[in-house]
Amino acid sequence: MKATFGGGCFWCTEIIFLNTEGINSVLPGYMGGKRENPTYEQVCSGATSHVEVVHLDFDETKVSFEDLLAIFFKTHDPTTLNRQGEDVGTQYRSVVFYHNTAQKEQTENFIKGLAEAKVYDDPIVTAVEEAVTFWPAEDYHVNYFNRNPENPFCSAVIAPKLTKYLKTFQK
């Protein structure tokens, strides 16, 4: 089964799902924009309307789509429009790209439940959009954190996020 999430920098989101049981593969890339086969530089310019996403293949017998939604909403801020931390622009917007009607309904109900429970102080701005063509990111983005742990962004931003995730979700 497929799932696609945009929740800021795809390096940050990729490492979370790489450490989730039931995930068969995680690919960083781009979705939702106007240009065919966009490059990282084009997407970062904000001119393509693409979002940095992670495209997942997962085993429903080990992890449910709702579990993935819980992880997604717990590991980024769904209340900031076009921003995650210091990353600003439409390419960092919060979005769930659904691959079927069931995913759309589950996502809408999940967001509604979070709003009703007042989990966040501010309104959730996460978009729910139909999945369109997924464009894989350049090879150097794949498994970025594990291949570049000495990178200052990795050690200052991604490592603490991963540590918090592992403490929260892994038993």
Q: Which domains does the chain have, with CATH numbers?
A: 2-169 (3.30.1060.10)
Count of positions (residues) in the chain: 171
Could you read off the pLDDT of 134-143 as tens digits, one per residue?
999 999 999 9
Separation between Cα atoms, residue 54 and residue 165, nearest integer Å: 17
Q: Which two tokens stand for residue 148?
A: 């570049």
pLDDT given at position 86: 83
Residue 12 among the catalytic residues: no
Q: Which two tokens stand for residue 154?
A: 């990795």
Is residue 12 within 8 A of residue 66, CB to CB? The reply is no
pLDDT given at position 168: 87
Instruction: Flag whether pLDDT at 170 surpasses 70.
Output: no
Instruction: Flag whether pLDDT at 72 surpasses 80.
Output: yes
Could you read off the pLDDT of 73-128 as tens digits, one per residue?
999 999 999 998 888 999 999 999 999 999 999 999 999 999 999 999 999 999 99
Instruction: Flag whether pLDDT at 171 surpasses 90.
Output: no
* Cβ neighbourhood burial of 55 (10 Å; 0-12, 13-18, 19+): buried
Q: Which of 9, 12, 44, 154 is catalytic?
A: 9
Residue 171 or 43, more confident = 43
pLDDT given at position 85: 85
Is residue 53 within 8 A of residue 31, CB to CB? The reply is yes
pTM of the model: 0.95
